[in-house]
Amino acid sequence: MSDSRESTPSPAEIDPKTMATAGSGRSGISRRGFLKGAGLTAAGTALLEGVQGFSAEVAAHAPHGVTELGPGPVPVKLHVNGVEHAMEIEPRTTLAEALRMQLGMTGTKIVCDRGVCSGCAVWLDKMPVNSCMTLAVDAVGRHVTTIEGISSGDTMHPLQAAFVKDDAMQCGFCTPGMVMSCAALLERNPHPSEHDVRHAVSGNLCRCGTYPKIFAATLDAAGTLRNA
């Protein structure tokens, strides 16, 4: 039962501008390929409210309220941690990639790269989102807060201090995402129960198994903030 197979379709079968195959010899649609395709067609409709963040040249191409971007790099302005950054990105670039590769803000981690582990959690206008599932162009016109932005200068956010005090970390790779999820909880609920904390990080994965101390640290920080 021996046969001959090609690992990948021939180039003629792929339109690299729309649906690149998933590299690595897999068949079907990769997340990157999907986002890339989406960036060319549908994403524009999601950009209506943010269109003022794009250059005049880009905005001028929105005659019917639909902005068509890419596939080449487009100039955008991202508002991150209170600072506006002008950059050129391909529309398919995720917010996580833009933060890490363009801005060098590597505190935001890419772990699953498909929105199930929250290692890449950042805030869009104080709402925690998975930045690996958010197109950078969709963050235009919003306030992005990253792990680098929640402390003020050299002063740590009380939650970060509590994570250190309670040893709520081991390898530390999930820690930034955990901090972002828990800090967002404290923003919306100053009196959380342990159940609330468990719920807040139910999308965050920690492989070292540090959860009990993350719960404790968040409750500690809530107390600190209430007494502040």
Q: Which of residues 61-120 bind other proteins (CB under 8 A)?
A: 90, 92, 97, 100-101, 104-114, 116-117, 119
Which amino acid makes up residue 88? Answer: E
The answer to whether 213 contacts other proteins (rule: CB under 8 A) is yes
Q: Total binding residues for other proteins by CB under 8 A?
A: 80
Alpha-carbon distance of 166 to 69, in angstroms, equals 47
Which amino acid makes up residue 134? Answer: T
The answer to whether 207 contacts other proteins (rule: CB under 8 A) is yes
Q: Three-state SS for 99?
A: helix
Alpha-carbon distance of 3 to 59, in angstroms, equals 54
- 42, 46, 127, 208: residue in contact with other proteins (rule CB under 8 A): 208
The answer to whether 187 contacts other proteins (rule: CB under 8 A) is no
Element (H, E) at 37: helix 31-40
- 126, 188, 191, 199: residue in contact with other proteins (rule CB under 8 A): 199
Nearest CB to other proteins, comparing residues 78 and 162: 162
Question: Is residue 111 within 8 Å of 120, Cβ to Cβ?
Answer: yes
* Interface of this chain with other proteins, residues 13 to 42, rule: CB under 8 A: 14, 16, 20-27, 30, 32, 36
Nearest CB to other proteins, comparing residues 14 and 62: 14
- 201, 219, 220, 222: residue in contact with other proteins (rule CB under 8 A): 201
* Interface of this chain with other proteins, residues 128 to 147, rule: CB under 8 A: 146-147
The answer to whether 185 contacts other proteins (rule: CB under 8 A) is no
* Interface of this chain with other proteins, residues 151 to 170, rule: CB under 8 A: 151, 156, 160-161, 163-165, 167, 169-170
Sheet (strand 127-130) strand order: 83-89, 74-80, 143-145, 121-124, 127-130
Assigned token pair, 90: 């391909």
Assigned token pair, 67: 């902005």
Nearest CB to other proteins, comparing residues 91 and 141: 91
Assigned token pair, 185: 């909880």
Residues 15, 16, 19, 25, CA torsion sign: positive
Nearest CB to other proteins, comparing residues 108 and 141: 108
